């Protein structure tokens, strides 16, 4: 079992799905975990369910991200692990894409991730150590009809990881991404049973993924077991892209 005792971790978008599973996995490995969500009560309730603490944070607000990240680092004396997980997905065919969808998707997935990585780097640079994981997607790596905006946002997220890894490596900070396939969470709950069956059928492992399976990959990447891994985009997709 990965040992993260003594580590302080922050997980954005931790109220459900992959974020909540990640918070649980980090707590189980011994880390002190703070998770965030847009609604304070929801964040605190989710946090209590996994032995973490919860804070309100909308990642589209750069100032709020900076304040929360600095606050966590100050309260615990350091910040070792940040998982920039908060994200949204809304489908639209090219001809149907509205400006509002572009704005919300890019401000949450791209700017939100960027704000989080930037604030994390600032907090970690002082100690010259730390590990950051961002949530990309197979859609960002390979594209998907009806998901052009989401795909663009997730391609950007993968390149935030690669670029930040290049910039921060000499300061002892590793930055990686995970690129999940189709994982059964609220995000994919709107998929029809046919679409789920089709995706499972195309997956060599013959099924969709579970949030815990992505969380396990994240826990590995943030741990010392991944000490020579940075700038990578790790597929957690059951082989769907093969
Ligand atoms: P969910 O929809 O289950 O959870 C999304 C989380 O993000 C919630 O905790 C939500 O919190 C939070 N969130 C959304 N917008 C904001 C915001 N503006 N500020 C702060 N928090 C926000 O999604 P998943 O767990 O499925 O996905 C997690 C990440 O993984 C996302 O980045 C997603 O794109 C990515 N991913 C998921 C895949 C999947 O198949 N599920 C596949 C590939 C990538 P709240 O609503 O409480 O504020």
Per-residue pLDDT of 48-87, as tens digits, reads 999 999 999 999 999 999 999 999 999 999 999 999 999 9
Distance of CA 104 to the CA centre of its chain: 17
User: How far does the centroid of ligand 1 lie from the alpha carbon of residue 229, in Å?
Assistant: 25
- The answer to whether residue 242 is domain-embedded is no
- The answer to whether residue 2 is domain-embedded is no
Ligand 1 in reach of 19 Cβ (< 6 A): yes
Ligand 1 in reach of 37 Cβ (< 6 A): yes
Strands (E), the chain: 8-11, 32-37, 53-56, 81-84, 130-135, 173-180, 233-236
State which residues form the domain around 127.
8-236
Q: Which residues form the catalytic set? A: 150
User: Quick one: pLDDT at residue 171?
Assistant: 98
User: Quick one: pLDDT at residue 1?
Assistant: 75
Mean pLDDT of 31-45: 98
- The answer to whether residue 241 is domain-embedded is no
**Pair type for strands 81-84 and 233-236:** unpaired
Mean pLDDT of 11-30: 98
Longest dimension (CA), the chain: 51
Ligand 1 in reach of 238 Cβ (< 6 A): no
The two tokens of residue 37 are 């969500």
pTM: 0.98
As for how many domains the chain has, the answer is 1
Q: Please tell me the residue having the least CA distance from ligand 1 atom 33.
A: 87
Ligand 1 in reach of 180 Cβ (< 6 A): yes
- The answer to whether residue 51 is domain-embedded is yes
Q: How far apart are the first and last CA of the chain?
A: 29
pLDDT at 175 over 80: yes
Ligand 1 in reach of 39 Cβ (< 6 A): yes
Q: Please tell me the residue having the least CA distance from ligand 1 atom 39.
A: 183
Using CA atoms, how far apart are residues 161 and 35, in angstroms rounded to an integer? 21
Which atom of ligand 1 is least distant from the CA of 139?
Answer: 43
User: How far does the centroid of ligand 1 lie from the alpha carbon of residue 170, in Å?
Assistant: 31
User: How far does the centroid of ligand 1 lie from the alpha carbon of residue 186, in Å?
Assistant: 8
- The answer to whether residue 1 is domain-embedded is no
* Mean pLDDT of all residues belonging to the chain: 98
- The answer to whether residue 21 is domain-embedded is yes
Give 1 or 104, the one with higher predicted confidence.
Answer: 104
- The answer to whether residue 164 is domain-embedded is yes
Ligand 1 in reach of 108 Cβ (< 6 A): yes
Task: Specify the CATH number for the domain of residue 183.
Answer: 3.40.50.720
What phi and psi values does residue 37 have, to the nearest 5 degrees? -155, 170
- The answer to whether residue 54 is domain-embedded is yes
In degrees, rounded to 5, the angle at the alpha carbon of residue 138 between the alpha carbons of residues 28 and 165 is 65
The model's confidence at residue 174, banded by pLDDT at 50, 70 and 90, is very high
């Amino acid at each position: 079992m990965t040992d993260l005792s003594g580590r302080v971790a922050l997980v954005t978008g931790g109220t459900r799905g992959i974020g909540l599973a990640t918070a649980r996995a980090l707590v189980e490995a011994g880390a002190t975990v703070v998770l965030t969500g847009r609604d304070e009560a929801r964040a605190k309730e989710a946090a209590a369910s996994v032995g973490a603490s919860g804070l309100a944070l909308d990642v589209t607000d750069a100032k709020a991200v900076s304040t929360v990240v600095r606050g966590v680092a100050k309260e615990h004396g350091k910040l070792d692990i940040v998982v920039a997980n908060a994200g949204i997905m809304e489908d639209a065919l090219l001809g149907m894409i509205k400006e509002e969808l572009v704005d919300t998707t890019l401000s949450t997935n791209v700017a939100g991730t960027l704000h989080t990585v930037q604030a994390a780097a600032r907090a970690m640079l002082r100690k010259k150590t730390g590990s950051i994981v961002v949530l990309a997607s197979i859609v960002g790596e390979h594209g998907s009809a009806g998901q052009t905006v989401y795909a663009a946002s997730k391609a950007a997220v993968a390149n935030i990881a690669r670029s930040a890894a290049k910039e921060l490596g000499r300061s002892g900070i590793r930055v990686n991404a995970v690129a999940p396939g189709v994982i059964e969470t609220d995000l994919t709950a709107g998929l029809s049973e046919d679409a789920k069956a089709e995706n499972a059928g195309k997956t060599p492992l013959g099924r969709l993924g579970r949030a815990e399976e992505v969380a396990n990959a994240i826990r590995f990447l943030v741990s010392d077991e991944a000490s020579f891994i940075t700038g990578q985009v790790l597929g957690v997709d059951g082989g769907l892209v093969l």
